[in-house]
Structure 1
Amino acid sequence: MEQAPLARPRSDVSSAVGLVGLAGLFAWVVFARAFPSIAEAFDWAVPHDTLGGQNSALVGLLAAALPMAAWSILVDKVHLRPSTGLDWSLMNSRRPDRSVTWVKLAGLWATWAIIAGLYCLCRWYWQGQYVFSMQVLGYAALPLVVLSVPYVFWIDRALVNPRDHAWHFGALLLMRPGWELDEVKKHWRAWIIKAFFTAFMISIIPFAFRHIVTADFAEVMARPERIALTVIEAMFMIDVMIGTVGYIVTMRPLDAHIRSGNPLLGGWIAALICYPPAVWGILGNGKAIFYEEDTAGWLHWLEGHDLAIALWGALLVALTAIYAWATFAFGLRFSNLTYRGVLTNGPYRFTRHPAYVSKNLFWWASVMPFLVTTGSLVEAIRNCFFLAVVNGIYFWRAKTEEAHLLAEDPKYREYHAWMAQHGLITAPLTRMWHRFRPRPAIEIQPAE
């Protein structure tokens, strides 16, 4: 009997949220690039340079975040959704228990202090690109502590269950009755994810932002490879800036809070392998699964063939655009290893993992591991094998993420089933699997 077609579940994030964030970011980039002309026109007594510095990159985060937050509240009205855990009518109908609020604040402040201590202990946070992250987080620490008091006092008035994960950790520390170990674990899974990835994302935003703001477009337009590389840098900037906003803005009134961190150990291992410091030892100096030995990249092999460079560059741009689209489609909710609602639109209407698919295809097309400058067939085989291993790690990540979301939300289970029927990649693979998998033996009942 043929299975009835399923309807694609409605996305928890509207398509417009990411687009207005993208518009805000582009508006700031245009202003930063045009600043010398603007300063000259208004005769401002400031250096007439493009605003490509680190502080300008931070303003770029605000330029992306504020429109997304405004659209989410004013148009999508996400603050009224039950998934926020908030009931605004409670502000007028009940008297909040401030002892609960203070226990929660104690848990929150203790969490931040422990994270700060971990930052201090881990040496990689105090060298290279991470120094900028530590400076930003150091300056933000005192304002966060101060502002957390009015915010938590305010939000507790509307919380359906004020005894959230932070309260359970605070109650554990203060030896108050009622705390639960599972809730404490959920609290720390969320905060470790937020602390680890926020520091990483902040560390790379200045580089991504500066490349676009300071680019000489006249020089860029002179060669097809320069056009391709600059557009790829722009897509990378979009991914980094919107992704960083997602890690920072985890707030219940925006329905962007972390509902749960991935509880699967395999999911954590698969994800953390792909980021510093683990990636430095595996793909960097350690070269355990290094796939770029004696490679020269696509420009080397296509040198002197402008049409081929233009076509191959267009392919790489398209793959990077899908990758960036997969990030800004999340709006305020992008982050690894977390469940923050279900996204079913944008590139996620075609495949469950558009970022992973496009990223891995990009590596094959840009590195060309099957071509090596030494002409060694053995080295080419090694490179292809190890890039295939990296592809396998991302497949592992994808499966652990699916397992997490399948356990959390019936809407994701509907989406997962819909993709099996309609996904650009998933549906053909599902049909192939059903065609070739062993059929169960038919049990013959004995005649009576």
Structure 2
Amino acid sequence: MQTPKKIAVVGSGLVGTLLAIYLKKAGHTVHVYDRSPDIRKIDFSGRSINLVMSDRGWRTLQEIGLDEEIKKIGIPVDKRAIHMLGSELNYQYYGKDGEAIFSLSRGVLNRKMVDLAETAGVEFFFDKKVWDVTLATATLHEGETERGEWEELDYDIVFGADGAFSRVRHRMQRQSMFNYSQDFIRVGYKELHIPANADGTHKIDKNSLHIWPRGEFMLMGLANPDGSFTCTLFMPHEGENSFEKLTDKETLEAFFAKYFPDTKEVIPDLVEDFFKNPTSYLVTMKCYPWTYEDKVALIGDAAHAIVPFYGHGMNAGFEDITILNQLMEKHGDDWLTIFKEYQQSRKPNTDAIAELSFRNFMEMSTKTADAKFHLQKKIEKWFSDKHPDKWIPLYSRVTFSHHPYSEALAEGDKQNRIMEEILSMENIEQIWETELVENRILELLKK
């Protein structure tokens, strides 16, 4: 059991709010600050990508008894539904029977988490702008404007859970020996919307992640419990097929008629949504160290923002909390050791999921439409079912297990090299389910 501390969490997003619940349950006084209004009192739409909860996130929720509560507001998704131009819908199942990720609306989930945190005794301070933190004393500096008067708020510990452009991290960056990088990718995104049918049912299969892969750009959609879908158009900001080219109603409608013809009946508000909703940017952010002595620590996107193509930004942030909690139970009041081991444990793994997320854009936008890729997935599933102790497919290792992300990246690279050799075998399309192929994979695994 830890000695109770007065702890501030900056940021009332998903990771900050769940962290606050964990800290409160551990006996601490917890205050959460956010510069935005209370999310429960505002309309949250227009620039979101639906979240997917996988095993890592569920573990964090389960350990504090919140998993069943959250499952009520999600929809299980057990496969990809690939909408290829001029051909039938193709389904690619994620894992074994019963394995599924859960589609969750970011706004609905965040509101629920704030409610649960308040019920647990966490105190929230909305519309409070934290501009700076004195690292040595865990003192927050809050005020209306960056140049105006600030109030000093004293704490024992401060957690920066304030996202990719964190003010807490901004202060830490001004130390010597603090490494920091941010990389914007050339692809941006825009939210679109498939409304429910008149009777509240979904217009397309609700238990699939729908993907319209078109090479350098793609459309995807995930279901919401109210019968609607949150769709996301990922495209380059500039170039031939890009956001900069879609400037008027006629051009937009012609573009969708050419590349996404089967969406005409299900996205009735295309023009209104497209020109109303902002075009958002995607960034990968890395930094180190994540902590300052036993006073300040970064968590979630403030420490490791990633692009959304593996659906693991939230899951990685929740796993930060799992590891932090394990170390709190192990080391008690020794926050210096807790913080040191926390950052050493998480840094290699969050770097790995950043790399995997970046790569997955190519898989979703290009490879999902490729026959060779489909065959590779069939071979991997077939071999994995026969030898589950020897082969866990990369997606399953990342999404349906608790294996470290760094291990998943290394094993995935090894498996890909093996599959390149298998796919180059003569007549592989005809012989892939044979003992010859099975023995060749076993032989390559031994090398």
Instruction: Please classify the TM superposition score into its range, dividing by the shorter chain length.
Output: under 0.3
What is the TM-score with the length of structure 1 in the denominator? 0.27
What is the TM-score with the length of structure 2 in the denominator? 0.27
The structure with the largest helix share of the pair is: 1
The structure with the largest strand share of the pair is: 2
Larger radius of gyration: 1
